[in-house]
Structure 1
């Protein structure tokens, strides 16, 4: 899991408050806050002040002590702004371990730069940034900054922590708004706020003190299920004169629909081209395949982050003419192409990313960062990623699988689930043949087929040059000594399945001790590496996906070889998965058939030792050797 804990920070990332000298001596930090900590937040104050229907200010005051170099990145300041969000002020300071001021900071000390990658063609997002030069630890940094935004379309999440392995002395979040301005609040283990009203304005203040550090543990639950959090969104908002509502998913979806309405007109020439392309089929799914391939061959992805363009797609005619767009524009364009040949489709919002991204169903708001297309086919729903020219039709992979998406229609928004890939889909199939000569050297042909989420992990191998592919393969396989003679890849888009075929030489594959030859019976890559141990685990853990690994390996030894190892079978199972292997000895040939299935699920912390024990048992079973 990523080190930083929050996903929906929008414009708000770093910043602190400058205090009197020697208030932040590192020795003054309570010992319990240093336990398992690389840093300690001394004081954090985030103030979100809504000034009316179309303006709010955000002020962040942060003082953090870095205890060691593992917390170095937590001292990096980033203030995001654009034409809608204006940078207002900044001040800061750096303190030594005794709390003495080393340096005072002003706006002139900040670097001003673009906030997007080179793939962004239309962009007004910028960032003021600062990275202190740190020569020794502990050290304390303090920043205070403020921005003002001329809209009220936001969903802001406050966490009292910035990262794992971090203690918190004091953290505060204050939401201030006119009494008449309705604010939706989603409270996650944060307790009740202190509420006050004065001069027609209402303040809600959450305060957190002496929070112990949360240690990073393997397979941790999503952070929003562990730590306190407060999520805030206006019940009604305005963005670039577009009025919207978070009163329900239907209402929010109607606002998104208004941004896309009337933007799906295609040139007559393109419509005629599509009708010709699909004329020979009446199958809805085949029409959709042809249209998707047409879109992929005609377009490329660029980021659009200019004003309302951050939420409103280019019209389809513009994308058709230019041949590029962002996720919104390309999805809207593909939607228009599908409708042109009679294939129903829905524009769909989703929170993309690698890992688990849950959506709070009972908190209608902008919890999304990506757009994909949904085709409600008979018998099954097809999801299309429209920003990737290489991805197969109907495959969305780790980026958007197994999460809630919001379908957009004239009637509004409707929550549905995207594709979930299980162990029947997430498969690696290996079929190999290994020839052993009289000196114990081996030559092997290996065929590996990857499907489901494992396809997503490996299909990019097919995009590499021959030399780059070979370099990557040497890193992928964990043989002690091997040479790749040849390699070939096949990307079966219809399945989808990615196939890798290799011929490798394995010098001295068989070891000799006296008159006995010993040969390992495992010809697999490192996909079954032992799992990381965690002593005195504190948190529950979650295995997000289930997988299946199938291996069939034929070993052909020199004729008349006398094999001492007998045929055998081994199998076991646990709540975390199942394992089986069968060794078949037939004359001077040996076949091993192996299958490992892993389960998806959530487990209590005390079960982690049994989880490790299961994988230790798998590793031991895979050490099977042939004696001859």
Structure 2
């Protein structure tokens, strides 16, 4: 009864509003409908931490879906495992007028293993409900309670989690005993939390109302950095019976090492002797590490494993050695153990992986940052990073999955916040040399292209495809009508500047167009920039996630029936974000074209956007130009 009294006291106003809330779509303010796929009409999230091993999560949420683009936001996933129990769930579907048309209960939810397409093992299960709408708009309301046996990962609040989501009303309340110390991270909250007290709890309440969907602009940071969010981490935590206390990354890294990593490096004497034999001719620690990394790649393969302590604990190194597979955690731990056998220290590092760079929160240690593990080898004067899940990645190369971001190294002395290497626009380079021949309206010849840095990553799909799939993938990369490929060859150069060499023959039919005794030929055959940012009234900073340099040097042998007289072309454009140069001239029987485009990584003021937009427009116009060659 006491909990019921507290709950009614806290939510009386909110619940009375919810009961009287009109779910008719016409009652949604027009400002919240604009650009929105869905509107969160009413949301209340209540987290009650009674003890470190006793956390109750109560959620009530109503979402209006305007069209099929919003259906995925109406999907209701509820995860549970040994540390989380779904106590109750129910819901209601309303039509556009706000009238209930269907009730939902726990029998309507599908219960499946939460293993994804990459996971071989998973302790986590998923109950989900997906409403299949026939007419739009509709509103789906859901209420559920989940009991958690841990407080390391307190459910966060992120009401406007997507640019196409608007919020009419959302509240988040965190209740904890008066003596419980917690750390709070807030981002873009409309107002500071209000604080109230009961005889048992201190309550912090955040609220967001009338938050519109936003126009998503090109070249912006990850939207989650611009959305509203609240994260809470207790100072004293319990996770699957493992207790601890930390208030910074140093303490969290130490907790991870002592509770999740210690004792996992258990390779036996047989493996040690094998490692010593493999490295006996190496003269430096780096040479030894290269040999052992290749050994790791040849011996193991990656699978996802979500079992053990919440999916955070790696398998023992001996298990990886025995079975020949592991997830990112297990493979990094195994590689660490191999290195330790020849006295090479290394760091187990937590990172937020993905093409769009995302730092750990530098001043807020928490378990929810990070979705991947990589390895750092702190060689003197030459820190080296390893991606241990790839059987093909060059030694010391991370690529665009984990480059240039803050990570946490977990060591016996505690956590260390480090930054992974950045690949600049000079390093993310593509250099293409083509020698072609024009026959009637067709082009035939050979291209040799070298891809460096993250451009190497971008073409790995073709490299590892079979011979049947390679031409299909190349056609997508080159995106030219009537193009075909033959004699396709790739070479990986895995030295200190790893790159990929693509060598192929090609044929393009009807690339030239006849018009009034002239032949029209595209000026930029293999690199044409076409994506111009849409909006002129820039609101956000211009963010270029990763810079690059593209160079194309193409020679086309012209037939005798083409007049070799042509005014040379030379165009140059620049702005703070990039540079472009294009030249073309006929020398003898050969048309020589050179194109260089440089885009520079960085964050730029919105006032500079206009110059960037004009720069890209000029690049696109030049790339889409045509040579007008006189026919004799």
Shorter-chain TM-score range? over 0.9
Summarize deviations over 1:130-156 as a string: whole Å, max 9, x none. Answer: 001211111000001111111111154
Take 2:201 and 2:119, find their aligned partners in 1: how far apart are those partners? 40
- Gapped regions of structure 2 (runs ≥ 5): 1-14
Take 1:306 and 1:516, find their aligned partners in 2: how far apart are those partners? 68
Paired residues of 2:86 and 2:147 also in contact (CA < 8 A): yes
Per the alignment, residue 4 of structure 2 pairs with none
The yes-or-no answer on 1:609 pairing with 2:610 is yes
Per the alignment, residue 4 of structure 1 pairs with none
Report the alpha carbon displacement of residue 112 of structure 1 after superposing the two structures with TM. Answer: 0.5
Report the alpha carbon displacement of residue 423 of structure 1 after superposing the two structures with TM. Answer: 1.0
Report the alpha carbon displacement of residue 413 of structure 1 after superposing the two structures with TM. Answer: 0.3
Paired residues of 1:18 and 1:144 also in contact (CA < 8 A): no
Per the alignment, residue 483 of structure 1 pairs with 484
- Measured on the aligned residues, the alpha-carbon RMSD in Å equals 2.0
Instruction: Select between 562-571 and 590-599 the one with higher mean Cα deviation.
Output: 562-571
Per the alignment, residue 12 of structure 1 pairs with none
- Cα 1:441–1:306 change in 2 (3 A) is closer
- Matching of residues 553-572 of structure 1 within 5 Å: 553-558=554-559, 561-572=562-573
Per the alignment, residue 407 of structure 1 pairs with 409
- Cα 1:31–1:507 change in 2 (3 A) is closer
Q: TM-score, normalised by structure 2?
A: 0.93
Take 2:479 and 2:281, find their aligned partners in 1: how far apart are those partners? 49
Take 2:294 and 2:347, find their aligned partners in 1: how far apart are those partners? 18
Take 1:379 and 1:363, find their aligned partners in 2: how far apart are those partners? 29
Instruction: Select between 222-231 and 195-204 the one with higher mean Cα deviation.
Output: 222-231
Report the alpha carbon displacement of residue 124 of structure 1 after superposing the two structures with TM. Answer: 1.2
Summarize deviations over 1:303-362 as a string: whole Å, max 9, x none. Answer: 222241612211211211121111111101000101112322111111112212122211
Per the alignment, residue 210 of structure 1 pairs with 210
Per the alignment, residue 312 of structure 2 pairs with 311
- Matching of residues 289-438 of structure 1 within 5 Å: 289-308=290-309, 310-366=311-367, 367-437=369-439
- Cα 1:560–1:141 change in 2 (3 A) is closer
Number of equivalences: 611
Take 2:104 and 2:17, find their aligned partners in 1: how far apart are those partners? 9
Report the alpha carbon displacement of residue 20 of structure 1 after superposing the two structures with TM. Answer: 4.9
SS at 2:309 equivalent:
helix
- Gapped regions of structure 1 (runs ≥ 5): 1-15
Per the alignment, residue 247 of structure 1 pairs with 247
The yes-or-no answer on 1:82 pairing with 2:81 is yes
Per the alignment, residue 257 of structure 2 pairs with 257
Summarize deviations over 1:585-624 as a string: whole Å, max 9, x none. Answer: 2111121222111011223344433322111111222225
Take 1:610 and 1:205, find their aligned partners in 2: how far apart are those partners? 44
Take 1:46 and 1:426, find their aligned partners in 2: how far apart are those partners? 44
Take 1:606 and 1:96, find their aligned partners in 2: how far apart are those partners? 45
The yes-or-no answer on 1:227 pairing with 2:261 is no
Take 1:429 and 1:339, find their aligned partners in 2: how far apart are those partners? 40
Paired residues of 2:119 and 2:303 also in contact (CA < 8 A): yes
Report the alpha carbon displacement of residue 560 of structure 1 after superposing the two structures with TM. Answer: 8.2
Per the alignment, residue 180 of structure 2 pairs with 181
Take 2:243 and 2:22, find their aligned partners in 1: how far apart are those partners? 46
Per the alignment, residue 40 of structure 2 pairs with 41
The yes-or-no answer on 1:503 pairing with 2:505 is yes
- Matching of residues 464-543 of structure 1 within 5 Å: 464-494=465-495, 495-525=497-527, 528-543=529-544
Paired residues of 1:156 and 1:233 also in contact (CA < 8 A): no
Q: TM-score, normalised by structure 1?
A: 0.93
- Cα 1:353–1:483 change in 2 (3 A) is closer
Paired residues of 2:186 and 2:230 also in contact (CA < 8 A): yes
Instruction: Select between 271-280 and 491-500 the one with higher mean Cα deviation.
Output: 491-500
Paired residues of 1:244 and 1:251 also in contact (CA < 8 A): no
Take 1:279 and 1:35, find their aligned partners in 2: how far apart are those partners? 68
Take 1:582 and 1:401, find their aligned partners in 2: how far apart are those partners? 34
Report the alpha carbon displacement of residue 21 of structure 1 after superposing the two structures with TM. Answer: 8.4
